[in-house]
Amino acid sequence: NIRDADWTKETPQGLYIAIGKSKLTEAIQTTGLSIEQYVIDVDADRLAIVGGHSGKRGVLYGVYDVLEQLGVRWYRPEPWGWHVPRQERITLPVGRKVAKAPDYVYRSELAGGFTRKRMKTAEMAAAGRLWSVRNRLNGADVGVNPQFGGRVGMSFGHSFYLTIPAEQYFEKHPEYFCLIRGERRKSNPDTPDKLRAGNPTGLQLCLGNPGLQELFAQKIIAQARSRTREELDDITFSVSPNDACPFCDGGCEGCKALDDPRFPELMSNRVSAFVNIVARAVAKAVPGARVSLNVYSSWTEPPTNIPKVEPNVCIHMSLINEWADYSRDLLDPLSPWNKRTVESMRKWKDCGATQIYTYEYWSGYAWLGPLPLVRTMADRCREYRRLNIKGIYNETCPHWGPQGLDLYMCAKLMWDPNLDLEKELGLYYQNYYGPAAAPMKEYHELLMQAIRSLPAPAAVYSGGRGAHFMFKPSLLEQLKPCMDRAQALVKGQALYERRLAGVAAGYEFARRIGEILVLKVTTGTKVASPRWSGKYYLQSAEAERKFRELVEWLDTVTTKEGDVIFDYVPRASKDGPGYLSNDVLKNAALGFLDEPDLLKDFK
């Protein structure tokens, strides 16, 4: 391996490896290659790996490419989740490979770290960053270690409160803040007990106020001026509304003037108008600086009275709730949710948005059990290219036990949507499960079939909501022998027992959920839905008791020393993980459908 100090020496004798730019690799042309491209050049006596622009990230990816050609895989962040095959002789094909630029310039799924909700040690955090860079993620996942070749620092989180905190500005400028029932408010009068730490006001800003528009623009300009020209190529600055908060009501003439009177409930008109004002000021003051708008909730639909968004605006579509049907392909005509999403992507493009990204929820913020999204993610990663999507962010609560396969395959597919999916899945089953490969392949394939079997309009969607309806008695009866055989085959083999334990815990979680749903059918009574008129769910004291037992079991699994299985904080709530009790006990996830109909096969 040729290091910096050896660059001026003579060509080595015998076989050698040259990594990076040096006299030994100067004949390899990299002009025109992007920061993530690389060249792997193999001849009879030398392996050379050279990166593209800046040389850092590309050369690192080139090294990982060679290792993967030799069979290495990083399935989990911990060393026991790595697959490093022992080889007496290493052989590589002679020739030159020039890696193409990745389809997605931004790829992120562990921005919250190795775990999102559970406390993590420094060792765990470092392992998560290393896993991320090895699997070619390039967002906040990889941290700031320059050895990892830098990152793409897109900022698109809810930023209104962070940029204009009420504690600093409300007293002198109440006009910058939300008008609710004729008064400017420092905090939401309707939800005083439900304010979030990230936005203790519980409100948006007054987007029609010229003073606020100017102040917000100056704040972003100051941030942009603190960065170098090269840094601006890889970062954006968020101009995105707060989460789950009301805007000024109809009494605010400034905001009302930004709305389309035909669609007063559509907030994307006033939001887009505000973002355009800020973006124009930023572009004038700091050419090359970009801003990001997280389109979400009532401002997901494209604006109807804004002819064009500014060219330095990046759109990040948050595909939450009815914006994402994971049970069907993106272009499946049986999915009105996905059809609406595709239409909105195209309309944002028609509005002049040239930089559109997606914000996904391919993880279990609402569901801790198996979430078989591999083929769903593969479909999205391939179809998004045709829609000119530039990058993908996946918000994860990493339940490494039951959802480890999906976390790994998500990273692989974002890097290479053309991945030979069946081949990579086969390698995963063989490498990760060893002697239990056959029953675990059957286990995962049964799950992947089950998520596609929910009859429309039922669906599994963001955060795994609705996934509990997959676990019918018939499916659990098929999964059980797979798990039993797998556990028998790995018995006494510590590595494979450890790898299987988290998956088995995910199966046990799903089995307990299935038991609860059967109790709802056999012992429950119909109760009117508090949200959906004319719809019913099944209420059962026996099911509620079993749910409490599930939470107690989950607490014991999560507090055990050792492996991270569920990204869950024990005893954080008597109801267990967020969303789960309402979804399972009160049908909050699919309340627009009668639960007795959804549970007709749970007997």
pLDDT at site 7: 55
Residues with Cβ within 8 Å of 188's Cβ and at least 6 positions away in sequence, in order, are 180, 195, 201, 202, 203, 245, 246
What count of other Cβ atoms lies within 10 Å of the Cβ of residue 195? 15
Q: Are 50 and 28 in contact (CB under 8 A)?
A: yes
What count of other Cβ atoms lies within 10 Å of the Cβ of residue 20? 21
Q: Does the pLDDT at position 6 exceed 70?
A: no
Of the given ranges (129-138, 144-153, 580-589, 593-602), which has the lowest mean pLDDT?
144-153
The rounded percent of the chain whose pLDDT value lies above 70 is: 98
- Domains with residue ranges and CATH for the chain: 4-98 (no CATH), 152-391 (3.20.20)
pLDDT confidence bin for 8, thresholds 50/70/90: low
pLDDT at site 9: 61
Region 214-219: mean pLDDT is 99
Region 235-260: mean pLDDT is 97
Angle at 75 between CA 72 and CA 79, to 5 degrees: 80
Alpha-carbon torsion angle 569, 574, 576, 579, nearest 10: -120
pLDDT at site 4: 52
What count of other Cβ atoms lies within 10 Å of the Cβ of residue 10? 8
Write the pLDDT tens digit of every residue in 60-112.
999 999 999 999 999 999 999 999 999 999 999 999 999 999 999 999 999 99
What is the Cα gyration radius of the chain?
A: 26
Q: Which residues sit opposite 83 in a β-bridge?
A: 73
Locate all alpha helices (DSSP H) within 236-320, ordered by sequence: 253-256, 268-285
Write the pLDDT tens digit of every residue in 383-440.
999 999 999 999 999 999 999 999 999 999 999 999 999 999 999 999 999 999 999 9
Separation CA 128–CA 17 (nearest Å): 28
Among residues 369, 386, 379, 559, the alpha carbon closest in space to that of 468 is found at 369
Average pLDDT, the chain: 95
pLDDT at site 561: 67
Q: Does the pLDDT at position 5 exceed 60?
A: no
Provide the token pair at 202.
């519980």
Give rounded-to-5 percent helix, strand, coil for the chain.
Answer: 45, 10, 45
Among residues 433, 405, 436, the alpha carbon closest in space to that of 421 is found at 405
Write the pLDDT tens digit of every residue in 308-346.
999 999 999 999 999 999 999 999 999 999 999 999 999
pLDDT at site 99: 97
The rounded percent of the chain whose pLDDT value lies above 90 is: 90
Sign, CA dihedral 539-545-550-552, equals: positive
Write the pLDDT tens digit of every residue in 183-210.
999 999 998 888 887 899 999 999 999 9
Separation CA 201–CA 293 (nearest Å): 20
pLDDT at site 3: 53
Separation CA 7–CA 18 (nearest Å): 10
pLDDT confidence bin for 53, thresholds 50/70/90: confident
Q: Are 408 and 128 in contact (CB under 8 A)?
A: no
What count of other Cβ atoms lies within 10 Å of the Cβ of residue 362? 26
Residue 118 carries which DSSP code? S
Plot region of 516 (φ>0 → left; ψ -120 to 50 → alpha; else → beta):
alpha
SS3 320: coil
Region 465-494: mean pLDDT is 99
Write the pLDDT tens digit of every residue in 272-295.
999 999 999 999 999 999 999 999
What count of other Cβ atoms lies within 10 Å of the Cβ of residue 377? 23
Provide the token pair at 297.
């909730």
Write the pLDDT tens digit of every residue in 358-381.
999 999 999 999 999 999 999 999
Pairing assessment for the beta strands 291-295 and 95-98 based on DSSP bridges = unpaired
Q: Which residues sit opposite 48 in a β-bridge?
A: 18, 41
Region 557-569: mean pLDDT is 85
Alpha-carbon torsion angle 486, 490, 495, 498, nearest 10: 50
Provide the token pair at 459.
């669906």
Q: Does the pLDDT at position 56 exceed 90?
A: no
